[in-house]
Amino acid sequence: MSPSNPGRFNEYRELLPATFLDIAELEWRAQGLRVSTMTHMPGQFQTEAYARALFEAAIPPLPADEFEGRIAHRVQRHRAVDRTDAPPYRLVVHEAALRIEVGGRKVLREQLTHLMAAADRDNVTIQAIPFSAGAFPGAGQAILYALGRVPRLDTVQLDRTSAGEFIYSETQLCKYRLQLDEMQRNALTPKKTLDLMHTIASTL
């Protein structure tokens, strides 16, 4: 990572799809991050073993150099949320993502431990939506909402295709703000979320 452009992963520029680099840059420059994930742990806090298991499932299989590059890039995305001047980060994660054994029981246990440690940071808030919450808006997609210096500079990235999708229109931004608000209302408190993660980890 270049010291003059600390948010940019320039070493991956010839190796990974441009969307990967755009997402990392978006996260680095955001004034705040609101994230929802339904079936996977958030990219900002994935462990190496967890990311490796995800990319091993790619069809068709990735070339070896891109495979390793994607893992390294994914793990390094945590820099955006754990640096000294990190922005507020609010995650809503579905219970399904906390229970799906990506990489097996040991990998999931380590991933949960990693996520619980992240929840101790002052800038990080994590809430889980339990299975019992039933249906809710936005249940079918992962959302990354990056707050700009002013609302008109906000950006949403939707992880529903391999290429990703970026959204800038105010009408759509308002829609996803409301969806994230509703998800938070359906979610457990941060304390109950930690209790749930401890319970799941203890069974692995």
Average pLDDT over residues 158-166: 68
Q: Cα(68)–Cα(75) distance, rounded to whole angstroms?
A: 11
DSSP 43: G
For 10-202, the fitting CATH number among 3.30.1360, 3.30.390, 3.10.450, 3.30.870 is 3.30.870
pLDDT on residue 11: 79
Give 44-62 pLDDT, tens digit per residue: 999 999 999 999 999 999 9
Residue 4 is predicted with a pLDDT of 39
**Which residues touch 79 (CB under 8 Å, ≥6 apart)?**
1, 28
The C-alpha atoms of residue 70 and residue 73 are separated, in whole angstroms, by 5
Amino acid at 100: I
Q: Is the pLDDT of residue 159 over 90?
A: no
Say what the pLDDT of residue 160 is: 56
Bond into 190 cis (ω within 30)? no
Give the CA distances from residue 45 to residues 105, 117, 146, 167, 190, in Å, rounded to whole numbers and listed in that order. Answer: 18, 10, 16, 23, 17
Determine the average pLDDT of the residues in 115-124. Answer: 96
Q: What percent of the chain has pLDDT over 90?
A: 78
| Span 141-157, pLDDT tens digits | 899 999 999 888 999 99
CA distance 70 to 137: 30
Determine the Cα–Cα distance for residues 16 and 89; give it in Å rounded to an integer. 25
3-state secondary structure of 90: strand
Q: Which two tokens stand for residue 140?
A: 């079918």
